Amino acid sequence: MLIKSVILQKNLAMTDKEKYRIFCPKELTIPVYSRDWWLDCVCGENNWNVLLYYHGDEIEAAMPIYSPVKKVILMPEKTQTLGIWFNPKFENLNYSKNLYRKQTICNYFIDNLPLHNYFLQKFHYSFTDWLPFYWKGFKQTTRYNYILPDILNSEKLWNDLGENIKRNINKAKKKYNIEIRKSIPIKLFLQVNNKTYERQKMSSYHPEMLQKMIEISRSKNQGETWGAFDKEGRLHAAVFIVWQENCAYYIAGGGDPELRNSGAHAFVLWQAICDVAEYSYSFDFEGSMIQGVERFFREFGAKQIPFFEISKGRLSLIKRLIMKIEYLLKNKPK
């Protein structure tokens, strides 16, 4: 009895974030973007928190929170979705009761959000009822993701590909003699990733963060890079994929603008999808609202799935400036 009492007191003394860190490795259904190690990468270990909802002493739901500056709740970089995760253990077979249960949890989280003037989070596509947020003055924008729900059958995957993707893969292999290599150097991947942003006249999305993500996911055997090379050793295109048992995620990619016509991007992504079937049974393309990117993902035979971007308030220019300055100070060269 004394031992049980000590354990109970220790658990009560733990913060929700500490409990969540212990819980994450045990629960396979938590999306990778909501996991503690991912949030450490994209937010910094001390720059995120989590709200938990309990069923007795068990975690029934969780809502990670990233607040880069006071009174602002935002999405971290390189993170497609956060929002609320519901523990499938507590799903009720009665539809009405289950809907009420989840709405009750949403209301709890809304009422316990940190004080904020601006809120924006993109919710995982498994979250389908945003009414509690609507009832409390939040707004919603529908976005779209593309998912391959079953990547274990490579023959079916190939048959479901669009003709343009098949043509590019065959062109890369037969005409340009492209070879796919796994575990390419991080520096090489970042170079080709940056070329894509340069071609689009956009600044690179925080290469130092991307490097950290690759390093940590590799150390956990949950992420890797693939590159498409020609016989002269030139890197045409590359992708970075992160995975866990229930899903693999296309995190970043890029291609050399001068070598775009080789079909290598389609080939390297196709090979990566085939390879990660060893670790996961589905594939998440992350989706895009950009027409050309949307078409590219759709032609892989992926299923279109909507998800919610929920927001409230306005982000002032002063807050934007403060966030930019703080980011630059945190990431300046040492």
- 3-state DSSP call for residue 10? helix
Q: How many CB atoms lie within 10 A of CB 222?
A: 21
Q: What is 15-144+307-330's CATH number?
A: 3.40.630
DSSP 172: I
Find the helix or strand (DSSP H, E) in which 250 lies.
Answer: strand 247-255
pLDDT at 7: 43
Number of neighbours of residue 4 by Cβ within 10 angstroms: 8
Pairing type for strands 72-73 and 118-122 reads parallel
> Phi, psi (5° rounding) for residue 220?
-95, 5
Helix, strand, coil: what percent of the chain each, to 5?
Answer: 45, 25, 30
150-281: which CATH architecture? 3-Layer(aba) Sandwich (3.40)
pLDDT at 21: 98
Pinpoint the residues of the chain covered by CATH 3.40.630.30: 150-281
pLDDT in tens, 34-92: 999 999 999 999 999 999 999 999 999 999 999 988 899 999 999 999 999 999 999 98
Query: Which pTM value belongs to this model?
Result: 0.89
Residues 212 and 108: their CA atoms lie apart, in Å, by 34
Those residues with Cβ within 8 angstroms of residue 153's Cβ, 6 or more apart along the chain or in another chain: none
**CB neighbours of residue 90 within 10 Å:** 16
Q: So what's the pLDDT on residue 320?
A: 65
Residue pair 148/300 in contact (Cβ under 8 Å)? The answer is yes
Phi, psi for residue 232 in degrees, rounded to 5: -85, 0
Q: How would you class 13 by CB atoms within 10 Å of its CB: exposed for 0-12, middle for 13-18, buried for 19 or more?
A: exposed
pLDDT along the chain (334 residues), means of 10: 45 87 96 97 94 97 94 93 97 94 98 96 97 98 95 94 97 97 97 80 74 96 98 97 97 93 97 97 85 86 95 78 59 48
Q: Which residue has the tokens 């575990």?
A: 183
